[in-house]
Structure 1
Amino acid sequence: MFTRTESLQDFLRLYPIVSLIVAIHLGLYLLTILPIFPNYWFYEHFSGVNLYIMEGEIWRLITPTFMHTSFSHMLFNSFSLVLFGPALERLLGGSKFLFIYLASGVIANIATVMLEPLSYTHVGSSGAIFGLFGYYIAMIVFQKNRLSKENSQIIITLCIVSLIMTFIQPNINITAHLFGLLGGFLLGYFFK
């Protein structure tokens, strides 16, 4: 379920939503480092800046989900999506998967606006990725027959490790991780 053995061509065909999201991650990252555009423009206009969101720049509840601060940040989040997204995209279908992913990211960003200072700035897709974990946990709790015992154990273990790392690593939006997870779990409960 979480082992990738497809060719790149098959992966793109089988998991178009995951592929599109990863392409957006990579594309936006490249636009922030290549000297084609002023590098700061994308951060200035797409980052989640709580003050600007409160002043009505609502798109900043979605756009930070696709922005990353460094190559390692983008690579780790994209790798996590490639590892855990395809199985869920296959189970849910592309439209529902995209809804869960974006809704989890928005929930994480709304919580960040509500609980962090107005000066707080945030980027990264981890809130949405934690939302996928939350959705998987809801499946484990409410739809026991959809995942094997082995896959359920993998998800629970990785979720616990990811939560521990949330509190250990510096510069992590803890609020987004926790509320992304909670949002995904609630979405998994209501949208089975």
Structure 2
Amino acid sequence: MSILQRRGNWKQFLKQYPICSFLIVLNVLVFIIMMINRYTNLLTDLLNGYTLIQLGAIQTYTIDATGQFYRFLTAMFLHGNFLHILFNMFFGLIILGAALEGLIGSTRFFIVYFLTGIASSYGVYLLSGPYTVTVGASGAIYGILGVLLFMIVFKKTLVPYNDRKLIAQLIILNVILSFVLSGISLEGHLSGLIAGFLIAPLLMIKEPEHPSYL
């Protein structure tokens, strides 16, 4: 069975993947509040960069001027439009996040998500232009990809063969898209991916309890 496939109902998903479920609910609630307050339209970007900054986005200039490093965290839960949050929640958490939570357990998944998300935010802070405004869970999702990359390279028996191929293809495709598409934080994506790959060995000191795959 593929680790990327989801079977059963939402009640089973909530039980099997509690951290992913919590993150999905939190992100969706924040987005709904933004919509209710008319900060965003359903399919279009937020009104302007100033609004994003007011809500807690990352902008190097603002952080340097105010010392508001909490933005490294708050930016992870803000999304610009419906398509943005849909992609991050469905592809990022329901598919990839649940796969990793199932492999390494909820506690270690929680550590991965927040450490790589904050590392991604820090990468944006260091490498982006001073007035660039950045939001989204993508940095943490690339952190998940980074851990999965480590696993398919160094812990192959934990991931089925077909999934190893698919994960490698997804990583290559997403890195390419990060370079070629506009409006995407290349700095955030690559920082999250690298952080996940570097954090992974620390999480594997004790092997996750999972069947071995050839």
Check whether TM > 0.5. yes
Q: What is the rounded CA distance, in whole Å, between the counterparts of 2:95 and 2:189 in structure 1?
A: 18
Say whether residues 1:190 and 2:192 are aligned partners.
no
> 2:71 maps to what in 1?
60
CA distance in 1, matches of 2:156, 2:123: 29
AA aligned to 2:71 is R
Q: CA deviation at 1:45?
A: 3.2
Tell me which amino acid in the other structure corresponds to 2:188: A
Gaps of 5+ in 2: 41-46, 205-214
Q: 2:110 matched to which residue of 1? A: 98
Q: Is the 8 A contact 2:52 2:133 kept in 1?
A: no
Could you tell me how far apart the structure 2 residues matched to 1:72 and 1:169 are? 15
The amino acid of 1:75's aligned partner reads L
Q: Is the 8 A contact 1:88 1:97 kept in 2?
A: yes
What is the CA distance between 1:42 and its match in structure 2?
7.1
Conservation of the 8 A alpha-carbon contact between 2:27 and 2:78: yes
Separation in structure 1 between the aligned mates of residue 39 and residue 154 of structure 2, nearest angstrom: 48
Tell me if 1:13 matches 2:23.
Answer: no
| Partners of 1:99 and 1:179 in 2: CA distance | 16
Structure with the higher fraction of residues in helix conformation: 1
Identity of aligned residues (%): 29
- How much has 1:150 moved relative to structure 2? 1.1
Q: Normalization by structure 2: what TM-score?
A: 0.84
2:118 is the counterpart of 1:116: no
Other structure's SS at 1:122 match: coil
Tell me which amino acid in the other structure corresponds to 2:4.
F
Give the aligned CA root-mean-square deviation in angstroms: 1.7
The alignment's TM-score, normalised by the length of structure 1, stands at: 0.93
Shift of 1:159: 0.7
Mapped partners of 2:59, 2:174: distance in 1: 25
Conserved? CA contact 1:32–1:42, under 8 Å: no
Q: C-alpha separation between the residues in 1 aligned to 2:165 and 2:22?
A: 28
Unaligned runs of 5+ in 1: none
Which structure: larger Rg? 2
Contact 2:53 2:133 in 1 (8 A): no
